[in-house]
Structure 1
């Protein structure tokens, strides 16, 4: 088998090389002698029981301008790749789910993260296995239940079950706007509702989990006037360490994820609480961690991948 890695992601020209974890993983793979074939979900085809892609053979460069070169356009049997990386961004919709079904047909290629695991590990629902380490949390689409929860906890945060990147998050401090909430529920269906944590003003900690091991974390500070720490929402990464409670929670989640066959994940903590975001679809933050610590976890990633049987 040739040393080829196929990466299922978004458009090449959407890459932000300063923040893109996939770009960092691709660069490190090239250093190890792998060729990169890039494709999107629209490029997947099942023909004669084989999975073919209409992909792009590409070379990446560690520079700000002209950071990639398209070598050729190829029709490629994914079973001829050594590894496939699932790295496209959410939303986790039917297109995303269908892509995992395509990949389940591969016979000899290792897929990171495992497509069945990506389907089964709901990024919000999975966190409820650890409710004792979370702020008070309910999942519902019942307006009365949400209002009752608000009366009890005064300040609440509401998140779509399949939300991502800090989008569409509601914060209710005063009276709940029932009409607005009804429209929100109609659009997003079941939602996660949590007691608001005052510590969110100090940011969150994104923890990196690779092959069941807790490998580091960054602290993300929200911009002024915001409760959202996501880099895509204007958050700024700074160097941090995990305290004993945070490390305990992270190790428990890491152990559980490994059992579920999730190789690479990111979890978020605020004030010593797991806040219900366990990112398994396209974990981010490795470039920020490298810039802050001079530790390139992409190297550890590939070292661990190549040890898999």
Structure 2
């Protein structure tokens, strides 16, 4: 197969933990040709989506791990699979990129995850499509509604809908300390919609990343455990990742959602859960492949490339 990765610059990869690198490495091991490009390398010209794409050779050397050929302008339809692996922020430039990728898809390109699906699934708000699996949740920009929600539940979490890596998350307990200021800041005085949820005390046991690949559940999750006085388990803010066998309850949720999300065009999903509740659906560039493999021996990248090989031919059928 000829595979193109839409991803961030390779010189910023930390290959000991990077999921995109794990995908590349496994695909190359199987003899697939690896190429890379960034969103800025795409253009719509003469009725076609053209990309300046670069062939990558993996060297096996940790310090100098890749070699790049000269960029070549090609249509995205020239590839057997295009993997969208660009990290958030999910801003307007990201949205424009999904429009270009969707145009290429209509011309025959096979893109994973599907651009329309990435655009439609806000990683926090998407859980509202499955209310039976979530904690009490409010989405609003209205300060009065947020205050009423706090009065009902007492201990709440407030967060922006476009955050990543734990940025902008606040906890307000019974004393309502700084609630007004937090509401004003996050909602920009009522101009920005945010999410508010009842605090889930099981966060101390970890914010679990559950991976769905090709509609199937990876048998291990990564519990991101907050450290010290932190309420956030995100690895980006110092959480410690501990791989565990997926629980019976979490497996039931994942098994129920896996085929639904695959049908909507999502080959890879990172379902986040705290306690018994789903908290996010990550669809842009889900991670944790390497941490799970390093701690359990289960090769998540191999499972992913198996699914990619299986679905690539029929993805646009």
TM-score by length of 1: 0.94
2:263 alignment partner, one of 259, 265, 276? 259
Deviations 1:238-257 (A, max 9, x none): 12122222111111221321
1:268 to 267, 272, 279: 272
How far the C-alpha of 1:40 sits from its partner, in A, is 1.0
Number of matched residues? 306
Structure 1, unaligned runs of 5 or more: none
**Residue of structure 1 in register with 2:281 after alignment:** 278
Partner of 1:116: 116
After TM superposition, the structure 1 stretch with the greater mean CA deviation from structure 2, 230-239 or 109-118, is 230-239
Partners of 1:111 and 1:301 in 2: how far apart?
Answer: 14
1:117–1:260 contact (8 Å) kept in structure 2: yes
Question: After superposition, where does 1:145-160 map in structure 2 within 5 Å?
Answer: 145-160=145-160
Equivalent residue runs for 1:9-28 within 5 Å: 9-28=7-26
Contact between 2:205 and 2:223, CA under 8 Å: does it hold in 1? no
- SS of 2:266's partner is coil
In structure 2, the partner of 1:236 is: 240
1:183 is matched with which residue: 182, 185, 188?
185
Q: Equivalent of 1:302, from 302, 305, 310?
A: 305
Contact 2:161 2:195 in 1 (8 A): yes
Please identify, of 140-149 and 33-42, the stretch whose mean Cα deviation from structure 2 is larger: 33-42
User: Following the alignment from structure 1 to structure 2, what is the Cα–Cα distance between the partners of residues 11 and 141?
Assistant: 36
Of the candidates 223, 228, 232, which is equivalent to residue 227 of structure 2?
Answer: 223
Q: Equivalent residue of 2:228, what SS? A: coil
Deviation at 1:207, TM superposition (A): 0.3
Partner of 1:72: 70
CA contact (8 A) 2:202 2:275 kept: yes
CA drift of 1:109 comes to 2.4
User: Which stretch shifts more, 72-81 or 259-268?
Assistant: 72-81
Deviating 4+ runs (over 6 angstroms): none
What RMSD, in angstroms, separates the aligned Cα atoms of the two structures? 1.6
Q: Please tell me whether the aligned partners of residues 27 and 61 of structure 1 are also in contact (alpha carbons under 8 angstroms).
A: no
Q: CA deviation at 1:292?
A: 1.0
Secondary structure of 2:217's aligned partner: strand
Question: What's the CA shift for 1:77?
Answer: 2.0
CA distance in structure 2 between the partners assigned to 1:256 and 1:193 by the alignment: 26
Q: Is the 8 A contact 1:58 1:72 kept in 2?
A: no
Task: Report SS of the residue matched to 1:104.
Answer: helix
CA contact 2:20–2:85 (8 Å) conserved in 1: yes
